[in-house]
């Protein structure tokens, strides 16, 4: 997912806890429940940034079934960990079926697109090379 795509696709919400600290702990079940209770954006995608450092992000994303995220790429290395549902990601001439519990890592600059085959949720982690937190 491109950095700009995720920043634009997320609506702004207050963050009761810091997004950058010496440690951050999350209850993913509760975080997903909160995402599902919010009004659904028209694009079928809702996301919440859980951790935000200069060189590293973790974003929890919920997708409605049949939501398509068109081709894009990131400047950083990324991973997609499917928490719920079934995703299909296409990259490098391959198709990856990502069911709950699946983890896929992609190198920086790898173009990819994503489809939610059913209501799904995933953790997107992005790490940028050469960036360091103060």
Domain ranges for the chain, please list them.
3-12+44-127
For the question of whether the overall pTM of this predicted structure is more than 0.75, the answer is: yes
Q: pLDDT band at 37, cuts 50/70/90? A: confident
User: CATH 2.30.110.10: does it fit domain 3-12+44-127?
Assistant: no
Q: Tens of pLDDT along 71-96?
A: 999 999 999 999 999 999 999 999 99
pLDDT at 7 over 60: no
Continuous H helices in 1-134: 3-9, 28-37
Closest CA to 6 of 102, 93, 84, 78: 78
Question: What is the per-residue pLDDT for 17?
Answer: 66
Q: Tens of pLDDT along 101-130?
A: 999 999 999 999 999 999 999 999 999 987
pLDDT at 12 over 80: no
pLDDT at 15 over 60: no
Q: How far apart are the first and last CA of the chain?
A: 25
């Amino acid at each position: 997912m491109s950095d700009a795509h995720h920043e634009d696709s997320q609506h702004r919400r207050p963050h009761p806890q810091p997004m950058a600290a010496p440690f951050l702990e999350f209850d993913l079940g509760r975080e997903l429940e909160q995402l599902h209770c919010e009004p659904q954006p028209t694009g079928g995608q809702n996301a919440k940034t859980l951790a935000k450092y200069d060189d590293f992000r973790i974003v929890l994303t919920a997708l409605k079934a049949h939501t398509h995220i068109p081709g894009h790429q990131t400047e950083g290395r990324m991973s997609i960990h499917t928490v719920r549902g079934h995703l299909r990601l296409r990259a490098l001439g391959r198709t990856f079926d990502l069911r709950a519990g699946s983890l896929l890592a992609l190198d920086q600059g790898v173009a990819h697109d994503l489809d939610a085959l059913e209501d799904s949720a995933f953790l997107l982690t992005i790490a940028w090379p050469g960036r360091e937190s103060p």
